[in-house]
Amino acid sequence: MSTVRVRFAPSPTGPLHIGGVRTALYNYLFAKKNNGTFILRIEDTDQTRYVPGAEEYIIESLTWFGLLPQEGPGFGGEFWPYRQSERKSIYKEYADRLLADGHAYYAFDTPEELETMRQTDQTFKYDSNSRTRLKNSLSLPADKVAELLAAGEHIAVRLKIPANETIAFDDEIRGHVAFNSRELDDKVILKGDGMPTYHLANIVDDHLMQITHVIRGEEWLSSTPHHVFMYRCFGWTAPKFAHLPLILKPTGQGKLSKRDGAKFGFPVFPISWDSDHEEDNFTGFREDGYLPDAVLNFLAMLGWSPGNDQELFNIEELSEAFSIEKIVKAGARFDIDKAKWFNQQYLIHSDNLKLAYLIQNQAIDANYHVSIEYLADVCGQMKERVHKADEIISNARFFFEAPHVYDDETIKKKYKKENGSHIKMIGQKLIDLSENDALKIEQVIKGYIADQLLKMGEIMPIMRIGICGTMQGPDLIQTVSIIGASEAGTRLIKSIEIFDKLVTD
RNA sequence: GGCCCGUUCGUCCAGCGGUUAGGACGCCAGGUUUUCAUCCUGGAAACAGGGGUUCGAUUCCCCUACGGGCUGCCA
């Protein structure tokens, strides 16, 4: 048994889609599980769709997730180059071989002519049947072919699919899949510009790079018979295929697309993508406050399960438990609520200081200049109350500044004017305390409430509003201990003035 | 339209001939708490339909319906 070699082969036509990340993840997990090699190959054979920066984006995304390839552009490996545009001559050589063996032919039809055919006939297909009527080296007389070849325009090489035979393969996920070759079109394998199409480049590279398992999206299932046919023509052993179910829109029809992020209000890309065109700017999971491991865990469960009820896995556990047989066959709808839940779980189990560093820039941007230790304390209190890292700051501004607005509703409902002086007194005592030990603070507050025979339920909520402005927040004693007894006391005294006015009005 | 793939709670998964069809997210109710959240307890919620095969089908086969993909000198 040869060692497992798998590849993730994205096309640098834009930012890497979250579905692509899952494909990369499954390849990575499969390699890890089998002690194999995970390879990155850049499929940039379409010059017209090439987007500068896309390759860097792909690598930065994989890096963020920790899904680093052992081979690939910039990662070493003995099967270089790993960028298809740099392998052009290799593909030409193999296309020639197919041509020489009679498994491919030259086609001279222009894209416009083919477009017209498709317009007039919805079912048009360039295949074993129609090719006899089209402009190619099979239908045209030899001298005419030679002439067109010499002219050198619009020369494409097409695969000569046999007329009527069964082409089948065993998919690792779907089992036996069979096609009749009459349903298959004569795919272009070498384009007019001399570049190969995906189909040729893909199988040549997979063979040359000794790929053992092709794990890719289901959109490739229909062209797999073409690939299998080419392996046969070359006399090569085909790798094993595993076609992954697609990720579908949360609601409505079709697969998740890049525009769905804006439409549904959540990211569909790992990290942000900035383009010259406003409508092509996308925010990423990273910038939106998600942790990479949480996203990975969520993605892993979208189309795969370990066969039991466990859902929380770190990457090591994931690769240990992973198996292709457990991949689900049906497409999965993207559920952002589940993703948020995973993220919250990871947030809760994250180290406070790590979280603090993660959100440090956000704090600075908001003009909150506090120590990293202070931020860590805030994270400790807030992490179980949020779903995304950025909410730690946006939901708890009272840790950084006195509240500007107060929850009127609760004040009107719970504030009794006779308690005002007591709360002011507590405020003064906190100022006098001049230290921030939680135990001492608790003694001051709860001690006073007990001494004066007051009710916790009447005093604490009002104090909370006075200090935080809102009813939502961590334990009050802990909060005071973090922002400081003196600051809290000052806020209390000031807020009572406002509350008194609010209640009399 | 044609070909291929699929179909268990709203969603993601478990189930691989005999189960009160299980878990998670979300939702609802209750408990804990100074609030929110976490956490705990409970609840509503599904085998697309029809034929077979079988003593017995959610599980196997066929048909229909529905969903998805492909049908480019894009990947």
Q: Is the model's pLDDT at A1 over the cut of 90?
A: no
List the Cα angle A270/A276/A278 in 5-degree steps.
Answer: 75
The CA distance from A271 to A464, in Å, is: 37
Q: What is the pTM of this model?
A: 0.96
pLDDT recorded at residue A148: 96
> A192 vs A153, A287, A297, CA distance in Å?
7, 41, 43
Average confidence (pLDDT) over A25-46:
98
- The answer to whether A407 and A471 are in contact (CB under 8 A) is yes
The type of residue at A369 is H
- The number of beta carbons lying within 10 Å of the beta carbon of residue A94 is 22
Q: Does the bond joining A267 to the residue before it have cis omega, within 30 degrees of 0?
A: no
Name the pLDDT band for A505 (thresholds 50, 70, 90): low
Average confidence (pLDDT) over A367-387:
98
User: Would you state the structure tokens that stand for residue A430, as one six-digit string?
Assistant: 């906190």
Q: Is the model's pLDDT at A105 over the cut of 60?
A: yes
The CA distance from A363 to A356, in Å, is: 9
Active site residues of A: 258
The DSSP 8-state label assigned to residue A289 in this structure reads T
Measured on CA atoms in the order A33, A35, A40, A43, is the torsion positive or negative? negative
In tens, the pLDDT along A110-159 reads: 999 999 999 999 899 999 999 999 999 999 999 999 999 999 888 999 99
Which residue is closest to B69 in terms of CA–C1' distance? A219
pLDDT recorded at residue A95: 98
Q: Does any strand B atom come closer than 7 Å to the Cβ of A461? A: yes
Which residue is closest to B37 in terms of CA–C1' distance? A385
The CA distance from A395 to A381, in Å, is: 12
Pairing of strands A104-107, A156-159: antiparallel
Phi, psi of A440 (to 5 degrees): -65, -45
The CA distance from A53 to A13, in Å, is: 9
- Rounded CA–C1' distance between A285 and B39, in angstroms: 28
Phi, psi of A339 (to 5 degrees): -60, -40
The mean predicted confidence, pLDDT, of chain A is: 96
Place of tokens 């065993």: A170
Q: Does any strand B atom come closer than 7 Å to the Cβ of A16? A: no
Q: Does any strand B atom come closer than 7 Å to the Cβ of A150? A: no
Name the pLDDT band for A213 (thresholds 50, 70, 90): very high
Among residues of chain A, what percentage have pLDDT more than 90? Answer: 94
pLDDT recorded at residue A275: 87
Average confidence (pLDDT) over A274-297:
94
- Rounded CA–C1' distance between A121 and B6, in angstroms: 29
Residues 333-362 of chain A sitting with CB below 7 angstroms of strand B? 333, 335, 337-338, 340-341, 344-345, 348
Any idea which nucleotide's C1' is nearest the CA of A341?
Answer: B25
The CA distance from A354 to A379, in Å, is: 9
Would you put residue A361 in left (φ > 0), alpha (ψ -120 to 50) or beta? Answer: alpha
- Rounded CA–C1' distance between A219 and B69, in angstroms: 5
